[in-house]
Structure 1
Amino acid sequence: MLETLLPILIFAALGLAVIGAIRRIRLWRQGRPAAVPLLKGLAALPRRYLVDLHHVVERDKMISNTHVATAGGFVAAAVLMILVHGLGLAQGVLGWLLLAASATMFVGSLFVARRRRNPPARLSKGPWMRLPKSLMAFSLSVFAITLPAVGILPADFGHWLLALVLAAVVVWGLGEMVFGMTWGGPMKHAFAGALHLAFHRRAERFSTKGGQGNRSTGLKALNLDDEAAPLGVETPADFTWNQLLGFDACVQCGRCESVCPALAAGQPLNPKKLIQDMVVGMAGGSNANYAGTPYPGKPTGEHHGSPHGPIVAPDATTGGKALVDAETLWSCTTCRACVEECPMMIEHVDAIVDMRRHLTLERGQTPNKGAEVLDNLIATDNPGGFDPGSRLHWAADLNLPLMADVKQAEVLLWLGDGAFDMRNQRTLRALVKILHAAEVEFAVLGTEERDSGDVARRLGDEATFQSLAKRNIATLSKYRFQRIVTCDPHSFHVLGNEYGELGGPDFNANWEVRHHSTFIAELYDAGRLAFAPWKGGSVTYHDPCYLGRYNGEFDAPRNVLKALGIEVKEMERSGFRSRCCGGGGGAPITDIPGERRIPDMRMNDVKETGSELVAVGCPQCTAMLEGVVDATAEVRDIAELVADALVARPAGEAVDASRRSAGKTTVEEVL
């Protein structure tokens, strides 16, 4: 009986899965076109799945091993089941391989069941709670029906009642594991996830045969010259089709929500729910069936959407509810902790900024001080509205050389918006002192420098960003230098990773952008700086998001502190898992209220280390952390610590020798 039923069940499930796949693809194709190399992406899929995805998954060894056993066992069992029971090729080794694959899958399903027995709060419940049972049903039924096929049990084992029971379990397993992959349910992520990896909008994130991928963290530019292109994303269908595919790939593991600073602060944002809301909008419906952590203070079931309906209600004052409320989007600090943790490599921040662009450019609905800051950028080229001519007032006694006068230099010192802030001026003065001590030939743009545009872009004002960027690019192109050095990771990121798309293929070709901690480390390694031994108290280091997660620079700041004789007491959340200070993405400007402040939580992390001082490398981090009331640790920039520790070193020949030993050259030799 089973010999007759099994091929029917298997091929019926496969047929329904194909129908579901066509239906699912049509949902994704509601999105805008995207230039994706289809065949090349499919060819790269195995490596992206087995290497890149598992680099993230294996951060949790137990889950990594569970996934290998369960997913690997399922893929092998599904293919072999079609051959053995669908096509009747049970002879030889295939049947035994099917037994091994289904047994491996069953072992993995036991660990899935163990995890779901008392699941962490971040895991979605609901339909996901049945997944262990479905995995067991598939693996056990396949194992049982294969025993007679390999001769372990007689071919006529059992009777019709047992055959019907086994057939029912097979249907259960096939329904969840095959049919459910394309029609919806927990296994949907397997189908969508594989294609998402193949057609990812940031293919450069993945490793290649000859090396590793890169972080690819720069935002994509809008084509403002294309009048037909939408200014940002108003509806789910305004996303590109592969972005919608990426949302559908979400496995609802909640890793993103566990590291989100806004959610931890009680602000109305949960990156996992935001992605699920986009899936609801893509298919149409409400969020009533969402079974995970809601947005703080916002119950589920009140929001709804459709593929061509607005994501954010056009007029919140009328009480209308769309997919999400505007304050959910404005709560994001763009720290990319969610992106870094996501095992499916979904780009949450890109989606949020895309939606912000519509609110800012089309509706003019940037909250709180957002509109004022954007107006200031348009009028004065800086977010504070300061007189552009006062950019160098803090350095009146330093006689800083201007690029307009010298035309070329070894280093262009990019001051950033911090030039107008009295606290950050201390950091800039310290950095100038270091450059003089190392005899670095440098110059500044002075009044020719404009804001980098970072805050405008994160607030969704792509037009103002591109205007600032293009004018800065024109200015930079007039002069000759080897590198740009800045103490602002936001300017560092934008100049190095986002200007190139607007500046043409030759932009950045003749110089590099350096964060001041990296440059100081290079100067020390080259023998151009010498420090007195550290005599202060205990120190911890706070990783700025735009230096660490965005650009992968974790070692240089720590190497500088080590050179000072400081043994860093690491916080529990450090490195790529560092907690955001709350200062990125325009968050201090939009100022969405929560239950607590993000910088307060970060200073509690500092307090737990017992450190007396927290070293930072970002003016926004300095401002946010110094704003914490009753803080137990002093906040100081790395440049300030280095400037205080400088001692005289042998000059002249010693410097030249160190340059030669490190392969350094002067700008005159280059030019």
Structure 2
Amino acid sequence: MTASIAHALTGLFWLAALLLVAGLLRRSVLWRQGRPAAVDWPSLLAIPKRYFVDLHHVVARDPFIARAHVAVAGGAVAVLLLVALNYGLTLYWRWLDWGIVLFAALMFAGALLIRQRRQNPPARLSQGAWNRLPYSLLAFAAAMLLLMLLPAQPVAQLIAALALLLLVVGTAELVLGIGLGGPMKHAVAGLLHLAFHPRAERFSGERSTGLRPLDLDAGDYGVGKPADFAWNRLLSFDACVQCGKCEAACPAFAAGQPLNPKKLIQDMVVGMAGGSDAQFAGSPYPGKPLGQHHGAPDQPIVGQLIDADTLWSCTTCRACVQECPMLIEHVDAVVDLRRHVTLTRGEVPNKGGEALDNLQQTDTVGGFPVAVRYNWAIDLNVPVLQAGQQVDYLLLAGEGAFDMRYQRALRALVLILKHAGLSFAVLGSEERDCGDLARRLGDEATFQRLAKENIAQWKTLQFRHIITPDPHVFHCVKNEYPAFGGEFQVLHHSQLIAELLQQQRLRLKEVLPDASLTFHDPCYLGRYNGETTAPRAVLKGIGIKVVEMGRSGMTSRCCGWGGGASFTDIPGERRIPDMRMQDVRESGSSQVAVACPNCTAMLEGVVGDRPEVIELAELVAARLAD
């Protein structure tokens, strides 16, 4: 390499650095339009761990792209660091050039893999500028290889000049992409997102799935316009790489309802920066053409940037969050938008509004008299917990207690508890709804009232654990009540039954050989609480082999009830429970076990010839010895 080329590299490096800083400052101005949020500067030091462990733990689910990403990102970072050292500081040490050669070759190989993926891309990938990216990366890596390897001879100068041109093209993708919102903005925004993530506890090994409380007294009514999001949530939207893994996992999108979580995030980016969705290069919301929606930081989101039915299509199942390699929180955004619509406009579609009215007036979703909640247990002599009495377990039946079908499952659960000789009781007519549906539909005021009343009531009683067969009650009380002072030990009935079987406190009949079925994981038990083992341990404990569906465990497909979707009932091309029942059929099983009253209702609502739906407690009770 000649001295002139070395100096040209130095000049290009510092020009690129200045443009990079300018672009980052421009983007940060957009992020700072959002509401204040705490800034933990030391978390910048945690970026390497969060990148190489937490983020790549998700990316590694796709081994091909994981290898490509390691090669491209790792090679590029190493090249940039070495260029900064050797040419930015004008050291011009030849041995450092060989390091640049090594990592540029690694980057080139990774870019070839990305180009290969783009030759026949899955439908979930965005096109447009993202199709250009592999070539920009190849240009950058090839230019560095040529410049480092060319001899310092006049005949090589023309090639060196062409290599510098390639380097300018490749560098522009990064330095201009950040400020102008191109694909490579995710490189910087993604790293900052890892540092200032809205749910930093996710990186400490905790499951963080509870929604943030609104300060209603301070006038916090959710998000009505992009500037209502906290600044670090706006930053998180810019971290999206438009890989579409959320889109591929979304049950509403698969059902042809007007929701695509990837486009939802990109619409928030449009609203933050201002403009329309005409340039979006991915799959649109089903049934909604591109170019008809626009937004700005201080303009309403719902009705202008997105339609209301997009918002109400979400089942809050967290499949999108589970699959996102950039750890973006789609569901938080959806619920914050719903909160504003519900609290300020009162516009909840179909039976959603009726359900909220019932909760406000009767403390039940269906508007039932609370006195009849435990009528199904009259002949079982289930004790009602009174002040001054003490039990080990407080049983919360939830809204399933009003459903004649699910009452069979509740009766089975009571039989199991009695068979094991447990000390338990119910609240009887004093039990009110936990508020989960209200919160997911955006009625934070009703949720907080119910939560505070429940907590105050339960604190007057003496019990060690709460047990419930409803994953929504389980999640709500376990993860969301603590924000209001409600710290309780909560068990899903599958967890308790698994313990009883392990402790051999349940006497079982001789089991039939080769019994098998498939199991449907409830979203609020699996993805929300990480519990996929206990139900399978129960089935194994009673001699049943689980035949897994293609989508099971943490990748289970939603039944379609969650988030109030069964109440808002946004039409699509097909029904989500029908799709889930098809998953059951494809497993070859004639029976599907469930562990949630809502999943039971949705799957049993599938019409026509279908596998039998059996609740977990019913299976166990049927095998209890007399």
Give the TM interval when normalised to the shorter protein: over 0.9
Report the CA distance between 1:43 and its aligned residue: 1.5
Equivalent residues of 2:6, 2:92 under 8 A apart: no
Q: Which of 130, 134, 143 does residue 141 from structure 1 map onto?
A: 143
Does 2:471 correspond to 1:474?
Answer: no
Amino acid at match of 2:197: H
Equivalent residues of 2:348, 2:568 under 8 A apart: yes
Report the CA distance between 1:61 and its aligned residue: 1.1
Report the CA distance between 1:40 and its aligned residue: 2.3
Residues 85-119 of structure 1, C-alpha deviations (whole Å, 9 max, x = no match): 33332325322111111010001011001000111
Does 2:151 correspond to 1:169?
Answer: no
Does 2:620 correspond to 1:630?
Answer: no
Equivalent residues of 1:10, 1:174 under 8 A apart: no
Following the alignment from structure 2 to structure 1, what is the Cα–Cα distance between the partners of residues 148 and 141? 11
Amino acid at match of 2:171: L
Identify which range, 168-177 or 333-342, moves more after superposition: 168-177
Q: Partner residue of 1:653?
A: none
Does 2:1 correspond to 1:3?
Answer: no
Following the alignment from structure 1 to structure 2, what is the Cα–Cα distance between the partners of residues 478 and 103? 68
Equivalent residues of 2:395, 2:467 under 8 A apart: yes
Report the CA distance between 1:84 and its aligned residue: 2.3
Q: Partner residue of 1:102?
A: 104
1:176-325 equivalent positions in 2, closer than 5 A: 176-207=173-204, 213-227=205-219, 229=220, 231-313=221-303, 322-325=304-307
1:85–1:523 CA distance, 2 compared to 1 (3 A): same
Does 2:416 correspond to 1:434?
Answer: yes
Equivalent residues of 1:533, 1:564 under 8 A apart: no
Equivalent residues of 1:582, 1:599 under 8 A apart: yes
1:168-567 equivalent positions in 2, closer than 5 A: 168-207=165-204, 213-227=205-219, 229=220, 231-313=221-303, 322-404=304-386, 407-503=389-485, 507-508=486-487, 511-535=488-512, 538-567=516-545
Residues 154-194 of structure 1, C-alpha deviations (whole Å, 9 max, x = no match): x2353553333122111001111333234321111111000
Following the alignment from structure 1 to structure 2, what is the Cα–Cα distance between the partners of residues 90 and 519? 67
1:520-669 equivalent positions in 2, closer than 5 A: 520-535=497-512, 538-648=516-626
Identify which range, 398-407 or 294-303, moves more after superposition: 398-407
Residues 376-422 of structure 1, C-alpha deviations (whole Å, 9 max, x = no match): 00110001000111111111112211111662101011111111111
SS in 2 for 1:614: strand
SS in 2 for 1:225: helix
Amino acid at match of 1:72: G
Following the alignment from structure 1 to structure 2, what is the Cα–Cα distance between the partners of residues 373 and 542? 26
Amino acid at match of 1:308: D
Q: Partner residue of 1:129?
A: 131
Residues 441-481 of structure 1, C-alpha deviations (whole Å, 9 max, x = no match): 00111112110000000000000000000000011101121
Equivalent residues of 2:515, 2:545 under 8 A apart: no
Q: Partner residue of 2:36?
A: 33
SS in 2 for 1:403: coil
Report the CA distance between 1:147 and its aligned residue: 1.9
SS in 1 for 2:562: coil
SS in 1 for 2:379: coil
Report the CA distance between 1:205 and its aligned residue: 0.4
Q: Partner residue of 1:666?
A: none
Moved >6 Å (runs of 4+): none
Give the gaps of 5 or more residues in structure 1.
208-212, 314-321, 649-671
SS in 2 for 1:122: coil
SS in 2 for 1:586: helix
Equivalent residues of 2:387, 2:460 under 8 A apart: no
Equivalent residues of 1:134, 1:177 under 8 A apart: no
Following the alignment from structure 1 to structure 2, what is the Cα–Cα distance between the partners of residues 66 and 4? 32
Report the CA distance between 1:584 and its aligned residue: 0.4
Equivalent residues of 2:515, 2:543 under 8 A apart: no
The alignment-based identity, stated in percent, is 60
SS in 1 for 2:525: coil
Following the alignment from structure 1 to structure 2, what is the Cα–Cα distance between the partners of residues 13 and 341? 34
Report the CA distance between 1:424 and its aligned residue: 1.2
SS in 2 for 1:307: coil
Residues 27-77 of structure 1, C-alpha deviations (whole Å, 9 max, x = no match): 00000011231x222121111111000110001111111111110000000
Following the alignment from structure 2 to structure 1, what is the Cα–Cα distance between the partners of residues 168 and 624? 74
Give TM-score scaled by structure 1 length. Answer: 0.91
Following the alignment from structure 1 to structure 2, what is the Cα–Cα distance between the partners of residues 158 and 128? 36
SS in 1 for 2:11: helix
Amino acid at match of 2:587: T
Following the alignment from structure 2 to structure 1, what is the Cα–Cα distance between the partners of residues 241 and 389? 54
Following the alignment from structure 2 to structure 1, what is the Cα–Cα distance between the partners of residues 35 and 142? 43
Following the alignment from structure 1 to structure 2, what is the Cα–Cα distance between the partners of residues 537 and 609? 15
Following the alignment from structure 2 to structure 1, what is the Cα–Cα distance between the partners of residues 567 and 473? 18
Amino acid at match of 1:426: R
Following the alignment from structure 2 to structure 1, what is the Cα–Cα distance between the partners of residues 313 and 215? 26
Following the alignment from structure 2 to structure 1, what is the Cα–Cα distance between the partners of residues 560 and 257? 12
Following the alignment from structure 2 to structure 1, what is the Cα–Cα distance between the partners of residues 382 and 31? 55
Equivalent residues of 1:21, 1:183 under 8 A apart: no
Q: Partner residue of 1:69?
A: 71
Amino acid at match of 2:225: T
Q: Partner residue of 2:24?
A: 21
Following the alignment from structure 1 to structure 2, what is the Cα–Cα distance between the partners of residues 179 and 291? 19
Identify which range, 430-439 or 6-15, moves more after superposition: 6-15
Report the CA distance between 1:220 and its aligned residue: 0.6
1:456–1:631 CA distance, 2 compared to 1 (3 A): farther
Amino acid at match of 1:433: L
Give TM-score scaled by structure 2 length. Answer: 0.98
Amino acid at match of 2:24: A
Following the alignment from structure 1 to structure 2, what is the Cα–Cα distance between the partners of residues 250 and 519? 40
Residues 579-618 of structure 1, C-alpha deviations (whole Å, 9 max, x = no match): 0000100001000000000000000000011111100000
1:7–1:392 CA distance, 2 compared to 1 (3 A): same
Following the alignment from structure 1 to structure 2, what is the Cα–Cα distance between the partners of residues 199 and 631? 50
Between the two proteins, the alignment pairs up a number of residues equal to: 622
Following the alignment from structure 1 to structure 2, what is the Cα–Cα distance between the partners of residues 36 and 643? 52
Following the alignment from structure 2 to structure 1, what is the Cα–Cα distance between the partners of residues 206 and 166? 45
1:406–1:420 CA distance, 2 compared to 1 (3 A): farther
Equivalent residues of 2:147, 2:160 under 8 A apart: no
Following the alignment from structure 1 to structure 2, what is the Cα–Cα distance between the partners of residues 91 and 5? 15
